Amino acid sequence: MHCPYSKFKEYEMVFTLHPLRNLTIAFNKAAFLAEHTVRANIVLGLASKNCAGHGVCKILAYDEPGEFSCQQAQVVIEIDAKKRLRMLFREEGACPCIVKNHFAGDNFLVEEPFHLPPWLCSQLDVGACCVPAGRYTLKIRPSFFIVEFF
């Protein structure tokens, strides 16, 4: 999958979509103040391997109907003023296999690039965005796992 580098455009307004925003800021204080925040459900794995492996297979709207699988987790996706992307995965309700397979070390492994879907780019106020394959910083906080992509 081709993953061209794309820059995030400048922001003109603060976006608040849900009540979890205050919680996400509370655990990192002023170090990462989100300008745009969106709740979503993420299916972990690889799109090319029917959602097996390590990475992000699909990003679904938070209220999108469908079957909940053990590879799925609730997430808060944020962009800060410095145009960094991060995802906060809720530990509560996550299957133990997700915690063991994806959040046990210091890094979050992405085996193949993934694209943020158009609806999410629009809500985050970014152009098309692709996250390249690689190892990304994983921070463990009470009740959340934080992955910093850029």
**136 against 62, higher pLDDT:** 136
What is the radius of gyration, based on Cα positions, of the chain? 14
Cα 28 to the center of its chain, rounded Å: 16
Q: How confident is the model at residue 136 (pLDDT cuts 50, 70, 90)?
A: very high
Q: Which residue has the higher pLDDT, 93 or 29?
A: 93
Instruction: Report the range of poorest mean pLDDT among 19-23, 34-38, 75-79, 88-92.
Output: 19-23
Which tens digit of pLDDT belongs to each residue from 10-69?
222 222 333 344 333 333 333 456 788 899 999 999 999 988 899 999 999 988 766 667
The whole-number pLDDT of residue 65 equals 65
pLDDT above 70: percentage of residues in the chain: 75
The predicted model scores a pTM of 0.74
Amino acid symbol at 86: R
Closest by Cα among 99, 57, 80 to 149: 80
